[in-house]
């Protein structure tokens, strides 16, 4: 289903003045719109990463961390969530 087809299936609720006040979207069209938005967001993140990659001189400038640092941060989060409450 294309975006145009999805948009064609949307029904609009209009107010007394004839202007749209809400949209009624069937669940299949809604899910398709959500999928399209998620894909667009992913593409934006990738474009941002690629732009930073062109200018970064080190992994740190790119925002990358070593596996050891990532593992230590994950362990610290796990320990914090295991701490007794109260």
Whole-prediction pTM? 0.59
Largest CA distance in the chain: 62
Mean pLDDT of 19-37: 93
pLDDT value at 2 more than 90:
no
pLDDT in tens, 7-22: 888 999 999 999 999 9
Distances (CA, A) of 63 to 49, 53, 54, 59: 9, 10, 13, 6
Q: 32 with 8: CB under 8 angstroms?
A: no
pLDDT in tens, 42-80: 999 999 989 989 999 998 888 899 999 999 999 999 988
Distances (CA, A) of 65 to 25, 55, 60, 74, 76: 43, 17, 7, 13, 16
């Amino acid at each position: 289903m294309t975006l145009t087809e999805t948009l064609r299936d949307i029904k609009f609720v209009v107010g007394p003045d004839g202007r749209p006040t809400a949209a009624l979207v069937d669940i299949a069209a809604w899910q398709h719109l959500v999928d399209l938005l998620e894909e667009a967001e992913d593409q934006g993140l990738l474009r941002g990463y690629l732009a930073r990659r062109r200018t970064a001189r080190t992994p740190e400038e790119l925002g990358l961390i070593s596996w050891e640092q990532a593992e230590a941060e994950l362990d610290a989060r796990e320990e914090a969530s295991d701490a007794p409450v109260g």
